[in-house]
Amino acid sequence: MNFIVLKDIFKSYGDTSVLRGLNLEIQKNDFTAIVGKSGAGKSTLMNILGLVEYFDAGHYYFGETEILSGRDYSHLRSNQIGFVFQNYNLISSLTCKEYILLPTLYSKCPPCDVYNLAQMLDIEHLLSMPVGVLSGGEKQRIALARALVLKPKVIIADEPTGNLDKDNKNIVIRLLTHANEDGCAVVLITHDYYIASNADKIFELRDGILHEKYL
């Protein structure tokens, strides 16, 4: 059964029409990668999927729930979705551990073991440091740990490997694959076909719709 269904989704900003009748179906165990040129609308699509932005027209089903404009979906966002933003705004005064545990403030779900998660991402030595002093790649891994801490049903990751070297890219991919094998759907945006090739399905976002790619 499909877990997420987008049907004929339209989204514009003023005169800029970004999504033009986009369709996407995601099942619980899917690992989906989305590629596309800069400005194609990938982050717009992620923000809609992650219930951060509304769409103008079309239908979006998240599990049993039809998503309707103007309603509050913070309960779904905090309990079921792990979101890794492209432009991660990390609150700099928090320690890494506090930052990773932030989602637990708004949720009754039990978190996973932060130290264990940090070890898998090779950031355990950073846990007591303020987030503000970290390098770009370290911040990216902290942001991923935060997205994973509540074991979400879907991870929506917008360029989670953009700032990383090859070893750290592999760490991130291994972790996402691990979460996916544990039953979490993964939707990943990337410019990098090496990263995309880890997914079960690859789509290119072009002209406001998704085109499946067969590598």
Comparing CB distances to ligand ATP, the nearer of 118 and 164 is: 164
Cβ count within 10 A of residue 65: 12
How many Å apart are CA 114 and CA 124, to the nearest integer? Answer: 9
- For residue 18, the minimal CB distance to Mg ion (Å) is 11
Instruction: Tell me if 190 contacts Mg ion by CB under 5 A.
Output: no
How many Å apart are CA 178 and CA 181, to the nearest integer? Answer: 5
- For residue 84, the minimal CB distance to ligand ATP (Å) is 13
Instruction: Tell me if 168 contacts Mg ion by CB under 5 A.
Output: no
Comparing CB distances to Mg ion, the nearer of 43 and 190 is: 43
Comparing CB distances to ligand ATP, the nearer of 138 and 158 is: 158
Q: Which of residues 80-99 bind Mg ion (CB under 5 A)?
A: 86
What is the helix (H) or strand (E) element at residue 138, kind and residue range? helix 136-148
How buried is 150 (Cβ within 10 angstroms: 0-12 exposed, 13-18 middle, 19+ buried)?
buried
Q: Which of residues 1-60 bind Mg ion (CB under 5 A)?
A: 42-43
Q: What are the structure tokens assigned to 198, written together?
A: 């880890």
Contacting positions for ligand ATP (CB under 6 A): 13, 16, 18, 36, 38-44, 86
What is the helix (H) or strand (E) element at residue 82, kind and residue range? strand 81-84
Residues that bind Mg ion (CB under 5 A): 42-43, 86
